[in-house]
Chains A and B, each alone.
Chain A
């Protein structure tokens, strides 16, 4: 690590999607292995496992297997998080399994990702699941997508195969809303174009996967235009040193706030000016997403958890009737006219499901207007009415103020992930 270099490193969160057997675990193993993020004791324990199972060499895929239950059954239960770093960036991988409860897990992993790696087996080309992964990436508005066409070694490193799959994918994804999409031919097993350039594919002029991960521009992934500051908690020490201090604590959900800015509190509509913005005792000049700060105002106005501080000339919609795309996360089906708790930014409310407009067939993007049975892993368009107004933006415009979750009131489980339209 270069000296002080760590003070300049950025964080990139990505998710990986692939169907069964297209080499996703091998690719992640390869990234960890080639970036020297695998430690000796991990390798040793892996070699032990391999030899006990009568396998030879190191199976990179086993590096990402977590729980004993999974290793025994050779399956992955849930989203697992992995970490590696290069001198430029630190990476967080949300590794989601390829089969059971796939949609639910990919949506979870995608919700915080800057980037998605979609894997396609060069021998099979675009399959139903590839379409599903592309759709979820688009629905969750992952800013960057890298399509890795894997197992190029099994198609003689053919440029034609690569170009054909690329074209098929572009045809399909033109119907979607993916802003930045790149294609890379790789062999995860041998490492071609993963970290090191492939000698077998000199026709490919693009960058390796690792280079792309290190250099993709993520500075615009957050909304820095519409000022949104949902209040988490109020800080009132009432101590001798700070008898009258009243600070509003939270994480900036959009825009850039500066001391002196004219602001408005929702729902009250009272206006004031920002006095100071702090991170602990350090005053800062400007606060932007995703910073956690404490803000003081020039006037004493009534603000509590669940309220939002915004700019007077740019406020979110305050609505009780909200249209959503929803991904259902629970085996208990969505109930029309059913009541659910919701969480939206720092606000709690309740809602009733007024209408199920259609279910998406996520393999071909057809709208199933007559199918209103919304169960686990289904994606649907619905309308809800909430007990009090939510301060919302379109999910496309802001992932923080445009997302909410539905909670079952009997079990307290998170049952739905909603993206506001």
Chain B
């Protein structure tokens, strides 16, 4: 007898496409949150697959902290130009100028937390009722309990004790006025799945993910790329190293890893041998044991 089996990557792909189509069907004004990192690039790729040969029936939105790697921004702009899809950019600097967000002080000021303010303002200004993102449950313990369709109240808050049960493949996106949903189509993907899928589908990524020479500073065990926003402490200095990014966030908090992996195959080999989680290099998560849980409750992604 013939066997009808999908491989794990095809099953994950099919699940994500199903969720993305549900978003388009159940909401009036959805948006895809695009950071220029690999997870949101995959989301964009899946959204194109879901609606081909039509266009993606919702815009992309980027929350620009002003602390981005320049490679991320040029990649983003080229992707939008080539695809002809619609991109909205909201700037954290605008929130700071308005006084709704306040810049952190110290030698390592991060705008990571301020993104939440700009994100919530952006959702409100544009009247978005569903924001999809590339967060995955394997990234962090607070995310392990997240739903595909995550309900947020009118303040954008997440209440982990009061989530809607999610049964079979039936997603309940009903809501009251002013409330919205955060939706995570690749919830069930792991870091390894993401890399294997990128290789299988031959998806283009920003050059930052591949090994290159860069000036970095070792701060409390995390290698940070040289940039205009950090100030060296007395005992610190920049060194030139062969590195690559495992995740891409702000320059101020994305730890880079020493690596010589220049191809996807080499990256996959490295990921399967590595013994540190992907977010292990994110100083934003290290601030406390429940850093992610607290940020999520306030409306962070």
Q: Which residues of A pack against B, CB within 8 Å?
A: 1, 6-11, 39-42, 45, 49, 65-69, 77-83, 85, 89-90, 92, 104-105, 107-108, 111-112, 218-219, 222, 224, 232-233, 235-237, 239, 241-242, 245, 247, 249-251, 256, 278-281, 288-292, 294, 305, 329, 341, 343-346, 399-400, 403-405, 407, 412-414, 417
Specify which chain B residues have a CB less than 8 angstroms from the CB of A414 in the assembled complex.
164-167, 172
Tell which of B5, B144, B161 touches A69, judged by Cβ atoms closer than 8 Å. B161
Chain A CB within 8 A of B116 CB: no
Question: Measured between C-beta atoms, what is the minimum distance from A77 to chain B in Å?
Answer: 6
Q: Is B7 an interface residue (CB 8 A)?
A: yes
In whole angstroms, what is the CA distance A341 to B170 when docked? 13
Complex CA–CA separation, A185 to B193 (angstroms): 32
How far in angstroms is the closest Cβ of chain A from B67?
24
The stretch among B95-103, B184-192, B246-254 that forms the contact with chain A is: B184-192
Look across to chain B and name the residue whose beta carbon is closest to the beta carbon of A418. B167
Chain A residues closer than 8 Å to B277, beta-carbon distance: 39, 41-42
* Closest chain A residue, CB of each to CB of B149: A414
The stretch of B49-57, B86-94, B118-126, B210-218 that contacts the partner chain = B49-57
CA A65 to CA B145, docked complex, whole Å: 10
Q: Report B-chain residues with C-beta under 8 Å of the C-beta of A89.
A: 8
In the assembled complex, the Cα of A350 lies from the Cα of B61 at a distance in Å of 35
Report yes or no: B52 in contact with A292, Cβ–Cβ below 8 A: no
Chain B residues with a Cβ under 8 A of chain A: 3-15, 17-18, 21-22, 24-25, 48-55, 137-138, 141-142, 144-145, 160-161, 163-172, 174-176, 187-188, 190, 192-193, 196, 200, 268-269, 272, 274-277, 280, 289-290, 293
Q: Is the CB of A235 within 8 A of B22?
A: no
Q: Are A69 and B160 in contact (CB under 8 A)?
A: yes
Contact between chains at B166 and A6 (CB < 8 Å): no
**Given A42-B277, A400-B168, A412-B174: A278 in contact with B52 (beta carbons within 8 A):** yes
* Contacts A224-B4, A305-B25 given; does A242 touch B167 at CB 8 Å: no
- Extra inter-chain contacts (11) besides given A11-B8, A239-B55, A290-B169, CB under 8 Å: A7-B200, A11-B6, A41-B276, A69-B160, A69-B161, A80-B145, A81-B144, A108-B165, A235-B53, A239-B54, A413-B164
A1 to B25: give the CA distance in the assembly, Å: 39
Return chain B residues, CB-CB under 8 Å to A341.
Answer: 174
> Does the CB pair A249–B290 fall under 8 Å?
no
The contact of B275 among A9, A39, A232, A294, by CB within 8 Å, is A39
Contact B174 A80, beta carbon cutoff 8 Å: no
How many whole Å from A306's CB to the nearest CB in chain B? 9
Q: Assess the A233–B5 pair: CB atoms within 8 A.
A: no
For A81, the closest partner residue in chain B by CB is B137
Assembled-state Cα–Cα distance A151/B160 (Å): 32
Instruction: Kindly identify which residue among B9, B144, B269 contacts A82, using a CB–CB cutoff of 8 Å.
Output: B144
Number of A-B contacts (CB under 8 A): 192
Chain A to chain B contacts (Cβ below 8 Å), 6 pairs: A7-B7, A10-B6, A11-B7, A77-B160, A107-B167, A250-B18
Determine which of B172, B196, B290 lies in contact with A67 in the assembled complex, contact meaning CB atoms within 8 Å: B290
Chain A positions within 8 Å of B192 at CB level: 6, 85
Q: Give the chain A neighbours of B50 by CB distance below 8 A.
A: 249, 292
Interface contact B145-A77, CB-CB below 8 Å: yes
**Closest-CB distance, A179 to chain B (whole angstroms):** 18
Q: Once the chains are docked, how many angstroms separate the CA of A45 from the CA of B290? A: 12
CB distance from A46 to the nearest CB of B (A): 11
Select which of B18, B137, B166 is within 8 A of A232 by beta carbon.
B18
Residues of A within 8 A of B193 (CB): 90
The answer for the CA separation of A399 and B274 in the assembled complex, in Å, is: 39
Residues of chain A with a CB closer than 8 A to B164's CB: 413-414
From residue A295, how far is it (CB to closest CB) to chain B in Å? 13
Determine if B4 and A288 form an interchain contact, defined as CB atoms under 8 angstroms apart: yes
Give the residue name and chain of the A residue nearest to B136 (CB): A83
Q: Which residue of B lies closest to A224 (CB)?
A: B4
Contact of B175 with A412 in the complex, beta carbons under 8 Å: yes
- CA distance in complex: A288, B144 (Å): 29
Shortest C-beta distance, A328 to chain B (Å), equals 11
Residues of A within 8 A of B53 (CB): 235, 237, 239, 241-242, 245, 247, 281
The answer to whether A6 and B196 have CB atoms under 8 Å apart is: yes
Provide the bound-state CA to CA distance between A80 and B160, in Å.
11
- Asked if A67 contacts B54 (CB within 8 A), the reply is no
CA distance A81 to B8 in the complex (A): 16
Residues of the B chain whose Cβ atoms lie less than 8 Å from the Cβ of A249: 21, 50-51
Docked complex Cα distance between A65 and B144 (Å): 10
Kindly provide the distance from the CB of A375 to the nearest chain B CB, expressed in whole angstroms. Answer: 15
Residues of B within 8 A of A85 (CB): 190, 192
Given A10-B8, A39-B277, also A235-B169 (CB < 8 A): no
Evaluate contact between B8 and A407: CB separation under 8 angstroms: no
Docked CA distance A20–B50 (Å): 43
Identify B170's interface contact among A65, A233, A256, A404, CB under 8 A.
A404
Are B268 and A1 in contact, CB atoms less than 8 angstroms apart? yes
Q: Are A232 and B22 in contact (CB under 8 A)?
A: yes
Question: CA A235 – CA B228 in complex, angstroms?
Answer: 46
Given contacts A341-B174, A414-B167, contact A251 B141 (CB under 8 A): no
